[in-house]
Structure 1
């Protein structure tokens, strides 16, 4: 505990003017109230301190955590400066969510890390260009020492030790309450794949999170007012990726990175409540970080986390994160990602659908890397299984949790027999994951929580996880990860039609603000739409010959788009059809499929065409 205290004192003593707020010897001799008075007197430019104490086997320590922001410190903008530098899209919630303290913190993030983020995106583009020219991803020889040496990440906090079932969902009030009360160990409130980036949605989500952290969250569900249970799930927040801008907030004329906005608003608004709830020993804030292309993404997030903890006066490692491994580049750099974030990271998650999307993007120009029908690609497909086994092996060697793939099956409550085959598949998938050594899994529906939990209970029993399962039998080469011809899948017209119909359906609702869409008894998100529209592009770009002998070209796509659009209209019915923008979605998808280059992310293309 002495090290914790010294670290805390060091951080608090060197924010701002570089003078100690309160010497360690002084904290031993004064009461809580006296300590706060001394701090307030010495540093009138700081406000909102909270007294916390941590206890070890031998003694109790107390330390002061800063829970506000500076008002008139050198280099920190005043409220007038902020309003002159920051342009915010008008909305009734903007002033409530984006207080002066929060804005000051966002400005700090943007100034400190905006340039580094731009450099990172340039590196992503350069790597993509090299892959288009034929370079294959592989393990980096320069970081071989990281993979070869023995080291471990920091232990997980107590509320992230058991993660056998993680539920992903929206940031609306009802979704938060239902998710926290679902029986899952973790609820991941999502600002990325399951919502659309409408300003109202983002602001409402941040407001709702503030209520959740403060313990004041309520929601009307089924005509009743409900609140989170005392033993509710641990709350995690998924930010958007580095590639996206938050165009509704500009600093000195430049939009802030969406990832920094999501993270910054949440951590600046809720660190106080999280610290009070956890008494310095848990409760977050905890984040899921998406769309890593490699260790450089992790290093940038490491810098953000270190700076944030220093800026807010938090002990090192207070903010904890988990990372989604959902790109080919990240798959080759799991050790390096864990190492860069070793003081903050707790888990890696296998993002299977995004991973397949990344395979298409990475090898867009390679005719030998054409993926077959999506339905023929599953967790037992050799190159996908190589990816997931490598993830488990790497995580457990380093002391990190391994979280399995997503299941979005929606059971039919009125006719369970109709969806029973899909539910059985979920059971088989989760049983396999638990048997392979995963510590938990992810689902998209509360109705699946008990099914997924039961399969992990069979393996884990009384244990919270299975980090001791080292999987020393796993040895995965670059060829194992990149050899897709062993998938035994085929390219069929039926598969192409499914991709068109799914992408049109999803994007047609996404365009009207719905990010989680029920399609064929599955709750689909942006990841599935990206995979489908990328596969349409790939098959057309590579002039794939289908099993019926027909070559995928513009003529075929024109016909199939028209037929599937008409079929979707019949399937949905006129009222639902009128609520979406399916014709516009089809127009966009058809245009994107004929471009020479695959667009990296459709939300960016939509924003550009708006």
Structure 2
């Protein structure tokens, strides 16, 4: 066994606990309701679970309070209020503080690839040529018990270098390259998502503490061996709405470091700015995490979703068609510019948004047109000052890398020093809240419906990242489809174009759902449609689009379905 931390907490043993026959050996107060599997025992050891338990017991009340504060903020917005900069924290925004220096190991992040923690994906992403792989337990993963725990197995094997995958259909074995491996960042779930298969003191564990705790406990020592002291593990933190949530994460990091006896500041994290309230808290979020931060990221799909959710009671702030809400919209461009200026002033990375296109292999002309869109988007990002960007598919990495390298320089790891911008205060609340412009069409309603149903059907069967119509869809893009439909139905939006004079209501939406289900069946084929969960997804999606009150997250309702009905989720529930 490796050393003992400041709390007398043991490091991971070489021979992990094998568990009781037919069940996991859990600490007092813990009940594991997920299916038993001998392979999972090395992840769900008594020591690792105890690590999670200590985090859960110390922070659960603070997490509950933060979620209650979200509800209070939503009440204010629903009563006509607007988010804005907090006068009480003006001293933070105007202070001259900076974050801890960026570790050398992750100074260059010009292209990052993202994807779920599936075994083949992990290997391909680490071998992709990207500088970073963000392994996702959140929007790109359907959180079934199998996906989550097998994902932890996959990451543990990846960190120690032993990961392989035998694709029997292709008779091909995948393994890590000998060199040029991407740095691994892990994104746990958001604060709002529970882990219903692990009960701690009679209540579901907090999903993000399970994801973070199991991964950190099993892998921090290997990171120290391969990366050196003070340079990881690395994380991405999603769905924050306020700096109080960043402060909780900072305390979680400090406790985890102290429990295992590693230096304060070893853990480093990038925060996704993907909610509208958080854009007014970027300085404060960096300040709370300043010893553990390596920057902020433009999570622009979730940001669009959050815009609708924040203004769900504001009929004067309806979005145009989803495809028209891009970085050319003033409120989106202002969000990106403010993030860059804030990060560079504080000495941290300002990461760009997702390129969701995927290669179109059977149509070279369409493929080149899609790549041209990617190049233009990445050129805008690098010239604006972003230090790196995201790609959803390995096929996009060369194009993204070329754009960033040509404009940053091959030997310049980032633009933190060279692209310091004017003071962030030149971007106002009005810039960040400007109403988006564009048409609302029947085709926009149809596309939302078609994408939302197909994504949810895949999610219910265990796939959280789904290629649809030459784009990689995840929970964030499905959320845009859902909340935009809900908004248009609630306020009886009058459609432009071919639907001129037609207002969106439940009757029209019902006809659209019927039409799109027929189209989905034609596109996927009768056999796949019959075997899939399209009808269940349709009922769930339609119910949420027509509900009197907007659900906060599509995945919360859908998660209950996974826990109760997924054939592999649990044999003991």
Residue 150 of structure 2 is aligned to residue 204 of structure 1 = yes
Q: Which residue of 2 aligns with 1:146?
A: 92
Cα–Cα, structure 1 residues 124 and 68, in superposed 2: closer, same or farther, change >3 Å? Answer: farther
1:571 paired with 2:510, answer: no
Which whole-Å CA distance do the structure 2 matches of 1:385 and 1:576 have between them?
41
Are positions 1:598 and 2:547 aligned together?
A: no
Does 1:137 find its partner at 2:83?
yes
Separation in 1, partners of 2:529, 2:275? 34
C-alpha displacement of 1:415: 2.7
Distance 2:333 2:320 in 1: 16
Could you list the runs of 5+ residues in structure 1 that have no partner in the other structure?
Answer: 1-10, 17-45, 49-66, 72-78
2:328 equivalent to 1:383: no
Give the aligned partner of residue 88 of structure 1.
Answer: 33
Q: Distance in 1 between matches of 2:68 and 2:160?
A: 39
SS in 2 for 1:188: strand
Alignment of 1:293-308 (within 5 A): 293-308=241-256
By how many angstroms is 1:578 displaced? 2.9
1:562 maps to which of 514, 523, 527: 514
Q: Does 1:357 align with 2:309?
A: no
* 2-structure distance, mates of 1:243, 1:124: 10
**2:415 aligned residue:** 466
1: distance between equivalents of 2:367 and 2:385?
28
User: Matches of 2:33 and 2:521 in 1, distance apart?
Assistant: 38
The 3-state SS of whatever aligns with 1:369 is: coil
TM-superposed deviation, 1:149: 0.8
Return the offset for 1:133: 0.9
In the alignment, is residue 243 of structure 1 matched against residue 192 of structure 2?
yes
Structure 1 equivalent of residue 434 of structure 2: 483
Q: For the Cα contact (< 8 Å) 2:441–2:495, is it kept in 1?
A: yes
Q: Of 471, 481, 491, which residue of structure 2 is paired with 1:542?
A: 491
**C-alpha deviations, 1:182-217, integer Å up to 9, x for none?**
000000111001110110110110001111111111
Q: Distance in 2 between matches of 1:580 and 1:470?
A: 51
Q: C-alpha deviations, 1:80-103, integer Å up to 9, x for none?
A: 771553333222043221011101
Question: How far apart in 1 are the matches of 2:50 and 2:145?
Answer: 20
Question: TM-score normalised to the size of structure 2?
Answer: 0.92
- 8 Å contact 1:399–1:467 — kept in the other structure? yes
Q: In the aligned structure 1, how far is the partner of 2:132 from the partner of 2:123?
A: 13
Residues 30, 198 of structure 2: 8 Å contact kept: no
Aligned to 2:21: none
Asked whether the 8 Å contact 1:68–1:101 carries over to 2, the reply is: no
What does 1:503-518 correspond to in 2, within 5 Å? Answer: 503-518=452-467
Pick aligned residue for 1:398 from 332, 342, 346: 346
2:392 to 426, 432, 444: 444
SS at 1:368 equivalent = coil
Give 1:47 deviation, angstroms: 4.9
Kept after mapping to 2: 8 A contact 1:419/1:521: no
Query: Unaligned 5+ residue runs, structure 2?
Result: 17-23, 565-573
Whole-angstrom CA distance in 1 between matches of 2:69 and 2:13:
35
Asked whether 1:174 is paired with 2:125, we answer: no
Question: What secondary structure sits across from 2:197 in the alignment?
Answer: strand
**What's the counterpart of residue 526 of structure 1?**
475
Matches within 5 A, 1:222-233: 222-229=170-177, 230-233=179-182
Would the aligned equivalents of 2:105 and 2:227 in 1 still touch at CA under 8 Å? no
Instruction: Tell which structure's C-alpha radius of gyration is larger.
Output: 1
Aligned residues between the structures: 542
Determine helix, strand or coil for the equivalent of 2:27.
helix
User: TM-score under structure 1 normalisation?
Assistant: 0.86
C-alpha distance in 2 between matches for 1:84 and 1:107: 9
What is the CA deviation profile of residues 489-545 of structure 1, one whole-angstrom value per residue up to 9, with x for unaligned ones?
011111111111111111111111111111110111000001100000000111111
Q: How much has 1:439 moved relative to structure 2?
A: 0.3
- 1:191 corresponds in structure 2 to 137
Would the aligned equivalents of 1:403 and 1:439 in 2 still touch at CA under 8 Å?
A: yes
Matched, 1:454 2:446: no
What displacement does 1:597 show? 1.1
Q: Is the 8 A contact 2:26 2:49 kept in 1?
A: no
- Contact (CA 8 Å) 1:352, 1:406: kept in 2 or not? yes
Deviation string, structure 1 residues 306-347 (Cα, Å, up to 9, x no partner): 111111101011111111000011100000000000000101
| 1:213-362 correspondence runs (5 A) | 213-221=159-167, 222-229=170-177, 230-282=179-231, 284-362=232-310
The verdict on how the C-alpha distance between 1:47 and 1:392 changes in structure 2, with shifts beyond 3 A counting, is: closer
Q: Is the 8 A contact 1:164 1:453 kept in 2?
A: yes
Report which stretch shifted further, 432-441 or 218-227.
218-227
In the alignment, is the contact (CA less than 8 A) between 1:288 and 1:321 conserved in 2? yes
Between 461-470 and 525-534, the greater mean CA deviation after superposition: 461-470
Offset of residue 231 of structure 1: 2.2
CA contact (8 A) 2:26 2:32 kept: no
2:372 to 420, 424, 429: 424
Q: Among 505, 511, 519, which residue is 1:553 paired with?
A: 505
Residues of 2 paired with 1:513 and 1:500: CA distance? 20
* Matches of 1:322 and 1:294, distance apart in 2: 15
| Distance change >3 Å, CA 80–CA 176, structure 1 → 2 | closer
Q: Could you tell me how far apart the structure 2 residues matched to 1:600 and 1:91 are?
A: 32
Query: Matches of 2:26 and 2:543 in 1, distance apart?
Result: 44
Q: CA deviation at 1:13?
A: 8.0
- Could you say which residue in structure 2 is the equivalent of 1:114? 60
Query: d(CA) in 1 for partners of 2:449 and 2:325?
Result: 17
